[in-house]
Structure 1
């Protein structure tokens, strides 16, 4: 059983108070030097400065969105028609009209497959597509009960953060508007794992009810510690010294304090407040992104890369109000009523948010410096009719890990292209099967990261991702 995060004798007040100080002088992390053991891929002349990952929680239906099969039998092609876009090579779903106007910036990558290495569960899908590493036996044994382990392979964003110099004011890796999924079933793959907790993402939280307001749980501070007291660091250290002596020997708490040490500089920085204040955007900009939690999260992502944050992840926030209609958690896991759930609830919000981000980045001259990746944990089964929702009459699509698509834009990726091809039913790659490791390596390539060396606790080097190859043809 893993050690608890808190000692039984440690009060919450003492923990939060002590967690704001005391580790500034320690050094953490892996070395960025050393050979990776693999021949480096050709470096981009101008590596991207930032990446935004938009993760569609639940498993987005590739065959209903951007790998459509209008000539397939009705039980495969579904109810939607493809529509023309600003790029002759690309066809998108008719319910993505705003994104269709931005297609000249997009690269649609079809035929991403798990190669039979995943389990079909959400946990395994998250892990594979976020880290580039195939799920191990524990995923097969535990399914969606599998917890994040300290020995897990790290999220690609955490790898990028570990290789980038410190930002002067902000965290290098930020995730919003939530941490999937609800405790205790937190999805593996979104953390730093074996790289160490100091490389974990910094989380911003948002809600459906107040989409223009974001909070940072790690910035919670005991009410007795005022900003004035916090600026007097030495006095604060003296005040809390006794508390810290009682907890420094608890390794699990010690690791957790690393994250809270980051909060100290953030709390005292006016630039942090400005970067997180999405409500200060002009009304017309907020309207363009959509005044929903997923829309404002994309707007926040643009603000963060504009402020120089290297890696931002937006996990689609599920709407629990539609869960029963779709036999899902309220996201893209459309086990039932697939077409109505997509048309009435999901595609419109997604279309507005993503198209606004790409348009905004392009207008601000940030798109070539910012890679945008849209991905998910799996695709949907091309043949309509999930047994869990009444079969054909339920009009749902089941999990499908044998084939999915991802979108890329910016970061040196050539827009207006389709890469990869699937069979006539959208079930399997027809050529060039692409693995999640290939997609992850492509992100690293776009960010100019060829050396994937890290060091274990004994100082021994290892490679953070042996598998995969960057999709150089996209650039």
Structure 2
């Protein structure tokens, strides 16, 4: 294991809407590029061309997966044991045997400091997706805190805005769902102050037909051909000419832009082919697993091959696990934590994530693809959650004081563990880093060191302040 005992890097940069637009059946797209400037931080040896973000919705238990504490008392460590991996000294949970074989590709970051004691999903999403600490509105509003138009932007939209426009696909794509169900749409996953034109394209997957991965948003209805759609668009443009007086309103201009991009996407063959996982062999699909999450990771690999800059996979919760785990069916294991992890969540994650890493490596894509696995929070080290009857419910409560992230590819040196938590896994104890540092490291790996943007009044501002690249990961 490559362990880091030196001081944290201090290469800090100076610190200085939500509008869901549905056009032709799907949400706003990410296309535009933003201004560039010179950065004082040297680029990494390998510049990643794509990032895949796997977000474990609900708050994955770090202490039962990546940062195990076998010497802690039983009421903290639980029944799981660590196992050796393909990287000497790096251990993972015994229920992640396939991923353990890929540990030589992994950097395990165990010392991420959540910084704020909100213990709230909305705040955790926002912090880990944007790199910005949640403001007071998250404390006062809790899960009623909806996305705001002036929120700091999702890291994927920053990457998308800084890259040249893809010829036929959006620069940022999210699948297989938009977390979470209305009215609890999670803040932090949108472009915010960068503008709705930079929002990701949302692609909906299905639990019932995961292998087919049908994309209604990219399918023309009935007898509508691409030519006929283009004709309809021409007619609409003609009618719009009679409404020129409305163009002075920004919302109308945005709608027009989104409609034009929607038509372009719907009539572009590469868009359909990139999402069509049925083109993969049964052997490849089985390798990832016949689930919507496994198939989404396979689709992410195909989008890397299509040179999409940023792909997000939000873990799709299962309604079948809702009652079993006292959760929304994902990683929010308030009750029955160990059975839910052992029997359901960990096997599915193990298969899909290990397959993705191995597949990227075998195809020669891992060096050019940065992989980040994160969540909105960790879980409380002491077993027992009041929502499931205390210790007898065998659950773990929310814990925003620390969590673990995984990174691989994109110039990251595999087979290493960075930082450490205390003996119970409650707080960072060595080399603490923040979600801002992780976000800044993603930008650095992607060759994006100019983080300036311009607001609607022409004023330049910094997209991420006081964040350090975790340089020893490279």
Taking structure 2 as the reference length, the TM-score comes to 0.91
- Is 2:125 the counterpart of 1:126? yes
- Aligned residue in 2 for 1:429: 428
SS at match of 1:372: strand
Structure 1 position 279, deviation (Å)? 1.2
- Aligned residue in 1 for 2:186: 187
Instruction: Quote the Cα distance in structure 2 between the aligned partners of 1:94 and 1:52.
Output: 25
* Distance verdict in 2 for CA 1:379–1:3, change over 3 Å: closer
- Aligned residue in 1 for 2:5: none
Structure 1 position 30, deviation (Å)? 6.2
Instruction: Quote the Cα distance in structure 1 between the aligned partners of 2:31 and 2:395.
Output: 47
* Distance verdict in 2 for CA 1:177–1:238, change over 3 Å: closer
Structure 1 position 469, deviation (Å)? 0.5
- Is 2:219 the counterpart of 1:209? no
* Distance verdict in 2 for CA 1:280–1:225, change over 3 Å: closer
SS at match of 1:312: strand
Q: Deviations over 1:448-469 (max 9, x none)?
A: 1000000001111000001210
Instruction: Quote the Cα distance in structure 1 between the aligned partners of 2:175 and 2:242.
Output: 32
Instruction: Quote the Cα distance in structure 2 between the aligned partners of 1:389 and 1:267.
Output: 47
Instruction: Quote the Cα distance in structure 2 between the aligned partners of 1:51 and 1:453.
Output: 20
- Aligned residue in 1 for 2:299: 300
Q: Deviations over 1:107-130 (max 9, x none)?
A: 000011122x25111000000000
Q: Deviations over 1:35-58 (max 9, x none)?
A: 6xxx63221132100000000000
8 Å CA contact 1:385–1:393 kept in 2: the answer is: yes
1:33 counterpart (36, 43, 61): 36
Structure 1 position 161, deviation (Å)? 0.3
- Aligned residue in 2 for 1:229: 228
Instruction: Quote the Cα distance in structure 2 between the aligned partners of 1:163 and 1:3.
Output: 20
Instruction: Quote the Cα distance in structure 2 between the aligned partners of 1:234 and 1:193.
Output: 28
- Aligned residue in 2 for 1:24: none
Instruction: Quote the Cα distance in structure 2 between the aligned partners of 1:4 and 1:163.
Output: 21
SS at match of 2:373: strand
SS at match of 2:361: helix
Instruction: Quote the Cα distance in structure 1 between the aligned partners of 2:164 and 2:199.
Output: 15
Aligned residues: 458
SS at match of 1:279: helix
- Aligned residue in 2 for 1:329: 328
Instruction: Quote the Cα distance in structure 2 between the aligned partners of 1:416 and 1:449.
Output: 25
Q: Deviations over 1:401-460 (max 9, x none)?
A: 111100000000000000001110000111121100000001001001000000001111
Instruction: Quote the Cα distance in structure 2 between the aligned partners of 1:379 and 1:313.
Output: 20
- Is 2:111 the counterpart of 1:111? yes
8 Å CA contact 2:63–2:379 kept in 1: the answer is: yes
Structure 1 position 4, deviation (Å)? 9.3
Structure 1 position 239, deviation (Å)? 5.1
Instruction: Quote the Cα distance in structure 1 between the aligned partners of 2:339 and 2:48.
Output: 38
Instruction: Quote the Cα distance in structure 2 between the aligned partners of 1:3 and 1:345.
Output: 34
SS at match of 2:423: coil
Alignment gaps of 5+ in structure 1: 7-11, 21-26
8 Å CA contact 2:380–2:397 kept in 1: the answer is: yes
Instruction: Quote the Cα distance in structure 2 between the aligned partners of 1:394 and 1:447.
Output: 43
8 Å CA contact 1:438–1:469 kept in 2: the answer is: yes
Instruction: Quote the Cα distance in structure 1 between the aligned partners of 2:308 and 2:31.
Output: 20
8 Å CA contact 1:106–1:409 kept in 2: the answer is: yes
- Is 2:79 the counterpart of 1:79? yes
8 Å CA contact 2:33–2:163 kept in 1: the answer is: no
- Aligned residue in 2 for 1:408: 407
- Aligned residue in 2 for 1:319: 318
Taking structure 1 as the reference length, the TM-score comes to 0.91
Structure 1 position 241, deviation (Å)? 3.0
* Distance verdict in 2 for CA 1:211–1:224, change over 3 Å: closer
8 Å CA contact 1:203–1:216 kept in 2: the answer is: no
Instruction: Quote the Cα distance in structure 1 between the aligned partners of 2:97 and 2:414.
Output: 17
